[in-house]
């Protein structure tokens, strides 16, 4: 079974631009979560989508948004990029977080550098 | 203030040594998970502990969930260079996942 895939793997943008990152979950997984990882703050939860609906949201500004498609693929968008948005953005998928223990499977991440 | 505090933050040991990593919180968790992340990759789930006092073993790795379900530990016996990586604990006290501050382990051959 193929794992979680994320595209692109690396991205360089300038301040003020916007960016869209893509995530394809494991086949059959309906939940997709996004995280931002930085050396200073560690892994922080951005949002979770389940069946095309945003179910949970972390404490990030409205510049960060996402969506999920009917095939469970997800995208996240960051508008008006700031230098502090430079980070590894990780996507994780899970089967059905409402049932029992939620075990997440992560993709390799997208390394975003804002200059 | 982080919900899940890990200690130590950094650990550098010689191959063959034993080590323990701690994950502590003031909150109660229904379950806690441990992940290992290697450079340039996403975290990989190692184990999930669910019951207070539970002990799980994965080869040379032993995971324990505290009786009060507020803390957990990871013990590695006879560490090997392949154990090098960032170890993260994670749990869901409410509706979202919280990750620990992380322990960066380096095992020197």
- Nearest chain B residue (CA) to A42: B101
The verdict on a CB contact (< 8 Å) between A56 and B98 is no
Of A56, A103, A107, the CB nearest to B96: A56
* Strand pairing class (B32-37; B44-49): antiparallel
- A17 to A23, A46, A114, B73: CA distances (angstroms): 20, 20, 9, 43
The verdict on a CB contact (< 8 Å) between B41 and A109 is yes
The per-residue pLDDT for A97 is 62
The verdict on a CB contact (< 8 Å) between B97 and A104 is yes
The verdict on a CB contact (< 8 Å) between B97 and A33 is yes
Question: Helix (H, G, I), strand (E, B), or coil: what is residue A63?
Answer: coil
pLDDT (tens place) for every residue of chain B, 109 residues total:
578 999 999 999 999 999 999 999 998 888 899 999 998 899 999 999 989 999 999 999 999 999 999 999 999 999 999 999 999 999 877 667 889 999 999 999 9
* pLDDT per position as a tens digit, A39-94: 888 899 999 999 999 988 999 999 999 999 999 999 999 999 999 999 999 999 98
Nearest to B84 by CA among B60, B104, B57: B104
A53 cis-preceded (ω within 30 degrees of 0): no
The per-residue pLDDT for A1 is 64
Nearest to A101 by CA among B94, B31, B29: B31
Q: Which residue has the tokens 């939860």?
A: A45
The token duo for A79 is 């508008």
The per-residue pLDDT for B93 is 75
């Amino acid at each position: 079974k193929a794992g979680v895939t994320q595209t692109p793997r690396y991205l360089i943008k300038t301040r003020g631009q916007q960016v869209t990152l893509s995530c394809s979950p494991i086949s059959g997984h309906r939940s997709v979560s996004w995280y931002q990882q930085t050396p200073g703050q560690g892994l922080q939860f951005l949002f979770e989508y389940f069946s095309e609906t945003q179910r949970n949201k972390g404490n990030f500004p409205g510049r960060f948004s996402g969506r999920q498609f009917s095939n469970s693929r997800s995208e996240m968008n960051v508008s008006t990029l700031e230098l502090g948005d430079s980070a590894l953005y990780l996507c994780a998928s899970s089967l059905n977080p409402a049932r029992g223990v939620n075990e997440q499977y992560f993709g390799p991440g997208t390394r975003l550098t804002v200059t | 203030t982080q919900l899940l505090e890990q200690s130590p933050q950094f650990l550098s040991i010689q191959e063959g040594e034993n080590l323990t990593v701690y994950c502590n919180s003031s909150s109660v968790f229904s379950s806690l998970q441990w992940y290992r992340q290697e450079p340039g990759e996403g975290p990989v789930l190692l184990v999930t502990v669910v019951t207070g006092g539970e002990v799980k073993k994965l080869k040379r790795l032993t995971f324990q969930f505290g009786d009060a379900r507020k803390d957990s530990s990871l013990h590695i016996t006879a560490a090997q260079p392949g154990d090098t990586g960032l170890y993260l604990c994670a749990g869901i006290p409410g509706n979202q996942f919280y990750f620990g501050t992380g322990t960066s382990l380096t095992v020197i051959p």
